[in-house]
Amino acid sequence: MPQVSDWFGPATTTAPPRVWLLAELGVNHDGSVDRALELTRAAKSAGADAIKLQRFEPDRLLSNQALLADYQTGKADDAAALLRSLVLSVDEMRIIRDAARAAGLKFVVTPFSLADVADLASLEVDAVKIASPDAVNLPLLRESANLGVPMLVSTGTCELAELTATVELLRTHSAGGCIMQCVSSYPTPTDAAALGGIAALATQFGDIPVGYSDHTPDTHTGALAVASGAVVLEKHVTYDRAAVGPDHAVSLEPDTFAEYVRLARQAATMTGPRCKAVLSIENDVRQVSRQSLCATRDLPADHVLTREDLTIKRPGTGLPAAVLMETIGRRLARPVRANDLLLADDLA
């Protein structure tokens, strides 16, 4: 399966990071192309790898029984009125796409209806993002997979057991995919960030990259998510957190978004490869400070070693301390002076 580093090509920094940053413009453009372009420039300046928009048409998405979520209450009289004020047409999104690509950013879009997927095809998106409530919407997932681009699937509102079919689809998707831990609460309180879900997803679905869609108000949550194993981060960016609209309060303004990106990149560097190995910068201390077998007295050739003949001292350039018991009873091939380390060639 393609890896995250394959999806978007070379990173925007000189040293490719292990985490990809998606700046979620969402509906923070307030239905304005100019505002979306402003946010695109802010995303570029902050060091993001991609911007993300949402493609929807209220008449496609909402039934007569559609409701406002608690965080949307007070923003409009009903769900249809709220969404109508936030729609960008395909032609408007194309303008934003071209500006993003000119700035070296990838263009990612979330569809909400089956008909929206055709619009994403027209836009030639670089990746498709599936919103959390649709992580179990298999018809939308299958239609989106037909685009042949990477799929990023958020998992807020989902139990682990509900995601099996979704992950199976991602496993067979030729362009690869990422499953993203998410808490669908806007904003998410810091103590409900549920970063442990990153490890839970990685443990359950070990061959699928795991990311984090961040709805907390904090600049450091992304760094903690990276340290927890996230390889993709999604974060809302806005021009003003106090602006009227459903998502502004859950977003970061350009300066704080830039700090969010900086901290996440730093965390990726600090985390390093997900393995335990000796780093080159440790070799000096490893050699100097580890301990080896050392002779307690002058020992002649052909001497059979006893416990009393050996102690343990620095540095770690002789036979390691761990082989003390196995060395007792061995015969010396040559003399060893008192306080000299015992070497492999000293043994017959």
3-state SS, one letter per residue, for 17-86 = CCCEEEEEEECCCCCCHHHHHHHHHHHHHHCCCEEEEEECCHHHHCCCCCCCCHHHCCCCCCHHHHHHCC
Mean pLDDT of 41-62: 90
Tell me what pLDDT residue 308 has. 98
318: which DSSP letter? S
As a whole number of angstroms, the distance between CA 184 and CA 7 comes to 25
Give the pairing of strands 292-295 and 310-313: antiparallel
Q: Residue 124's Cα: distance from chain center in Å?
A: 24
pLDDT at site 73: 58
In single-letter form, the type of residue at position 285 comes to V
Contact status, residue 288 vs residue 268, Cβ threshold 8 Å: no
- pLDDT of residue 60 exceeding 60, the answer is yes
234 and 292 assigned to the same domain: no
Q: Are 33 and 3 in contact (CB under 8 A)?
A: no
> What local confidence, expressed as pLDDT, does residue 229 receive?
93
Find the domain containing 58 and state its range.
4-271
Over residues 237-262, the pLDDT tens digits come to 999 999 988 889 899 999 999 999 99
CA of residue 306 relative to chain centroid, distance: 55
* Average pLDDT score over residue span 217-221: 96
Mean pLDDT rounded to a whole number for the chain: 91
Query: To which H or E segment does residue 212 belong?
Result: strand 210-214
Quick one: pLDDT band at residue 15, thresholds 50, 70, 90?
A: very low
Structure tokens at 233: 């981060």
> Average of pLDDT values for 288-308?
97
Which is higher by pLDDT, 19 or 82? 19
Confidence of residue 5 (pLDDT cuts 50, 70, 90): low
Same domain, 232 and 140: yes
The pair of structure tokens assigned to 246 is 């459903």
- Among residues 128, 132, 196, 195, the alpha carbon closest in space to that of 163 is found at 132
Residues 291 and 239 in one domain: no
pLDDT of 114 above 50: yes
Token pair listed for 134: 């649709």
The per-residue pLDDT for 83 is 73
200 with 306, same domain: the answer is: no
Whether 216 shows a pLDDT value over 90: the answer reads: yes
State the pLDDT confidence band at 11, using cuts at 50, 70 and 90.
very low
Among candidate residues 238, 271, 304, the one where a domain is terminated? 271
What per-residue string of b and e applies to 189-228 under the rule 16 or more CB within 10 Å gives b? eeeebbbebbeebbeebeebbbbbbbbbbbbebbbbbbeb
Mean pLDDT of 8-34: 75
The angle formed by the CA atoms of residues 58, 61 and 64, to the nearest 5 degrees, is: 85
The residue type found at 98 is D
Judgement on whether residues 288 and 258 belong to the same structural domain of the protein: no
97 and 211 part of one domain:
yes
- Rounded to two decimals, the pTM is 0.85
Domain endpoint, select from 254, 271, 288: 271
* Residue 47: pLDDT over 90: yes
Q: Is the pLDDT of residue 1 over 50?
A: yes
State residue 22 phi and psi, 5-degree precision.
Answer: -100, 120
Give dist(CA 27, CA 251) in Å, integer: 11
Alpha helices per DSSP H over the chain:
4-7, 33-46, 58-61, 79-84, 90-102, 114-123, 138-145, 164-172, 196-204, 221-227, 254-271, 283-289, 324-327
How many other C-beta atoms lie within 10 A of the C-beta of residue 58? 18
Kindly state whether residues 145 and 64 are assigned to the same domain.
yes
What percentage of the chain carries pLDDT values higher than 90?
79
Q: What digits encode the pLDDT tens for the residues 162-178?
A: 999 999 999 999 998 99
Higher local confidence (pLDDT), 62 or 18: 18
What residues have CB less than 8 Å from 58, skipping those under 6 apart? 79, 80, 83, 84, 87
Report pLDDT for 67: 59
Of residues 67 and 23, which shows the higher confidence score?
23
> Do 206 and 299 belong together in one domain?
no
Q: How many domains does the chain have?
A: 2
What average pLDDT does this structure show over 110-136? 96
Residue 298 CB neighbour total at 10 angstroms: 12
Same domain, 294 and 264: no
113, 242: one domain:
yes
- Do 55 and 127 lie in one domain? The reply is yes
Give the orientation angle of helix 254-271 with respect to helix 33-46, to 10 degrees: 40
pLDDT over 50 (residue 13): no
Which among 224, 247, 271 is the end of a domain?
Answer: 271
For residues 107 and 158, membership in a common domain is answered with yes
- What CATH number corresponds to the domain at position 293? 3.90.1210.10
CATH, residue 130: 3.20.20.70
What is the pairing mode between strands 50-55 and 20-26?
Answer: parallel
| Residues 44, 51: Cα–Cα separation, whole Å | 9
pLDDT of residue 200: 97
Render pLDDT for 73-106 as a digit per residue (tens, 0 to 9). 555 556 667 677 788 999 999 999 999 999 999 9
| Res 9: pLDDT | 45
**Structure tokens, 306:** 């006893």
